Structure 1
């Protein structure tokens, strides 16, 4: 492969530019590739729906495919809309002759309305094409058609269906959770352990973006995966980066003002970001909803005004002591990986401070008591931190929320301090200017690491920060399970 991946989209058109080959070409370019396109169908559509479809003769499709592959070395192929069985067979024959290194299939089978787009023969042909692809990216309705099962209503049902599709085709499956209900929007790779890791599932969590402008997200995600994989990323790394990019494209979609229906995503949002915008500012802003959840959760409100029940606070501190022991080990690892003597010294001091804090603040409230075992929220958080220790940048990003979120809370809650406040020592510890300065230094170090990182590692850093922030929220929510539900 060349340094710039050459990616061919085989799909239909969209005159408004939001889906099909138009979305594919934008995606490929936005993620550093060189895009090419072969048209399977000319579609008269806009943001409110499809009006008419014209399918050129299959002989012309063959001529287009051959014209490209006779002249250009193709690094990856993304396949989208294929209207009938004859077209699918032409594409299969061409793939067998050319054998591109990477083939990603987005099996367009079901309209947004829920209507089936292909007849039975075409659906059977498309199932066969799945076996020729390296990755298949169905939505939940298409996954149901491909497996002959009802549309999954839960994430576990969707995972089961994705496993069935992988087992029947031998192909890696990208399971998309966007059509499920709820605030969470996970995606997962389901396939062989050597490609995706333990259990044959590599899940990437995500939060749903509140926008109706989602036109072309399936096309864009599949072409992003093809481009990133052709550029040298592993499939799991490609999913992390693609999901980060697509989440940003959705978050900026409303600003485009394209059409009066379900508009497109902003494929080039990263190019429009200020050139001097720091990585830390991006991830801090992206975590706004999680940070708001922390501020509003009952534990933090009770901690601030002093109304938190004592047994709830001591349970939290005991879990925090468990957490800080592991956290200190991760900070020591950051010290060992740090590229400069100053950074090594900073992380070493921070590790020592975490252990001192555990002994001073926690022991004062716990009287030597500790729970027999870490709570699930504690274990989940520390497991995530240990899993994020593959590179220095990712590890720094993972530990940063424990600095930044606590310093932010300490600053916000300082006004509540008074001599008789039952948790004044906690407020003092995290509202301390010295802790604020340590946090600022940790942010500067993280920004430097992000600046030196590749695009793939920077994406992994952002994902590690996001997941740590979410674990912080769950950690604050966990103690309230001890308290009976309140109105």
Structure 2
């Protein structure tokens, strides 16, 4: 594993849950060597901030220069900068050193609600933002940076993130944790306005002290390790954060907002025992470096969905999808698609039956068999009925599979010969991408006309909005990602490749009509 050097420039927290102390834990937990330059000494605990002491700015500059004069810096995470003078000193150092990765967490408001920056410092911080690669504000901080009132809904938050990203030419991680509800969506917004979504259910805990500090430090570390793949770094850091939040109740720190459990996953999977040694002898080095820890099913879910983000965007942009949404898709092209889909579904049902036969548990066997015999075969009959009733649709049962349909089917059949895990992974995009696209079509994401009873394909679009299929999709995702989490690294990698290849075939299948050929 490559160890990267990550410098945290931030204030302190004597309880260890936020600030530099949390940054150093996060950096270590995500594969980095942590370093720190202190901007402020903060008297705080889990219930709030009591006092802030800001050392002379010249001393901060001396700290920064001491590190950069001697150590290769792979990434910088910037947290609390307590005054305009401090912010300007950090900006001047960044311009001289030009670190390859810079993540700015614009700390203005503590978890407790305490305001940490005055007006002059806030203005200086806005001027610092263009020097960063990524900023990670919470919703109140995003509103301050954008010069707006705090967002009351997720769409408003995304609008503010787009505004800041475009004006400052910086990536913005919009975070929905301050919004009400069971979901806590996050999104990575690029300067061009491109949005990469990271959905997630809220973890029921009050231990949120230092989550912003920890996440930004983790992203900086992951980005330095993976060549500034910001989508991948964010997905990996979020998976680690969620695991650490879910385990936070195992700690007993303070009576307010407690900290997350930064090393829960490492301690659980790696243990605490050192290598044994003979009495009086130095500890023996392990005979081989430890392998990577196994990711959780939730982490795999986030990682795989992010990995096919480009494929999903390209699918959205297909003229077939746009024409289906706005009703301009020619009937002949629609029927061509339905005919190919009917051929595909016949083979897909056979593959799902094979997955059922390979499944390791009765529950999984029953699920995959139900999908083959019920939802899939039933839908296939509906396809045939539509084709035979459609104008000009003669001989649809005799339609020949296209090269794309044949290629997709062959991919699934080949995967079904390589064991349960790979076979199930290959079937997943047909569930997941279809359900996601359908939910957004019927939800109005492609225009309100797609929801109208007057739409020429209203009856077809209504089938996308199927709660049973949505439930089956979640079950399929759960089975496949849990299998991946329990698999060996080699099998997990084969599963991922089968999934990604199937996602590409899913895009090509939607785009094979004359509208996109």
Q: Same fold (TM over 0.5)?
A: yes
Q: Which residue of structure 2 aligns with residue 270 of structure 1? A: 265
Q: Which residue of 1 aligns with 2:241?
A: 246
Equivalents in 2 of 1:238, 1:211: separation in Å? 24
Does structure 2 conserve the Cα–Cα contact (< 8 Å) formed by 1:327 and 1:351? no
Shift in alpha-carbon separation, 1:263–1:398, aligned structure 2, 3 A? farther
Residue of structure 1 equivalent to 2:161:
162
- Structure 2 stretches lacking a partner, 5+ long: 272-291, 303-337, 360-366, 391-407, 416-420, 433-477, 504-517
Deviations, residues 201-227 of structure 1 (Å, cap 9, x unaligned):
101101100000010000011001100
CA displacement at 1:451 relative to structure 2? 5.5
- Asked if the contact 2:23–2:213 (Cα under 8 Å) also holds between the matched residues in 1, the reply is yes
Alignment of 1:168-207 (within 5 A): 168-192=167-191, 200-207=194-201
- Equivalent in the alignment of 1:448: 487
Query: 2:480, 2:123 → 1: CA distance?
Result: 58
Shift of the alpha carbon at 1:167? 1.5
| Residue of structure 1 equivalent to 2:425 | 396
Relative distance call for 1:163 and 1:352 in structure 2 (3 A) is: same
**Structure 1 stretches lacking a partner, 5+ long:** 194-198, 288-318, 336-341, 344-349, 374-384, 404-438, 465-487
Partners of 1:93 and 1:23 lie apart in 2 by: 25
Against the structure 1 CA distance between its residues 112 and 442, is the aligned structure 2 distance closer, same or farther, given a 3 Å change threshold?
closer
Rounded to whole Å, the distance in 2 between the matches of 1:79 and 1:330 is: 52
Q: Could you tell me which of 217, 221, 226 is aligned with 2:215?
A: 221
Query: Is the Cα–Cα contact under 8 Å of residues 328 and 355 in structure 1 kept in the other structure?
Result: no
CA 1:448–1:58: 2 relative to 1, 3 Å = same
Residue 60 (structure 1) aligns with: 59
SS of aligned partner of 1:157: helix
Q: 1:21 to 1:278 in 2, by over 3 A?
A: closer
Counterpart in the other structure of 2:88: 89
Partner of 2:129: 130
2:50 corresponding residue in structure 1: 51
Q: Structure 1 residues 120, 395: closer, same or farther in 2, change over 3 A?
A: farther
User: How far apart, CA to CA, are the structure 2 residues paired with 1:280 and 1:49?
Assistant: 34
> Which residues of 2 match residues 436-475 of structure 1 at below 5 A?
447-448=486-487, 450=489
Relative to structure 1, the CA distance from residue 259 to residue 326 in structure 2 (aligned partners, 3 Å threshold; closer, same or farther) is farther
| Structure 1 Cα separation of the partners of residues 135 and 114 of structure 2 | 21
Query: How far, CA to CA, are the matches of 1:331 and 1:25 in structure 2?
Result: 52
Which secondary structure does the structure 1 equivalent of 2:64 belong to?
helix
Give 1:272 shift.
2.5
Structure-2 separation of matches of 1:35 and 1:367: 61
Give the Cα separation in 2 of the matches to 1:394 and 1:23. Answer: 41
Distance change >3 Å, CA 73–CA 156, structure 1 → 2:
same
Question: Aligned partners of 1:228 and 1:90: how far apart in 2?
Answer: 26
State which drifts further: 148-157 or 43-52.
Answer: 43-52
CA drift at 1:192: 3.7
Say if 1:41 and 1:83, in contact at 8 Å, map to a contact too: yes
1:235 to 217, 220, 230: 230
**Which residue in 2 is equivalent to 1:414?**
none
Query: Equivalent of 2:253, from 258, 261, 269?
Result: 258
Aligned residues: 358
Q: Normalising to structure 2: TM-score of the pair?
A: 0.59
Matched residues in 1 for 2:248 and 2:34: separation? 22
Relative to 1, partners in 2 of residues 1:398 and 1:37: Cα closer, same or farther, differing over 3 Å? farther
Output the CA distance in 1 between the equivalents of 2:379 and 2:86.
Answer: 68
- In structure 2, the residue matched to 1:7 is 6
**1:285-296 mapped onto 2 (5 Å cutoff):** none
Task: Find the residue that maps to 2:173 and give its secondary structure.
Answer: strand
Following superposition, the deviation at residue 441 of structure 1 comes to 10
Q: CA deviation at 1:158?
A: 0.1
Deviations 1:373-397 (A, max 9, x none): 9xxxxxxxxxxx9xxx9x9989828
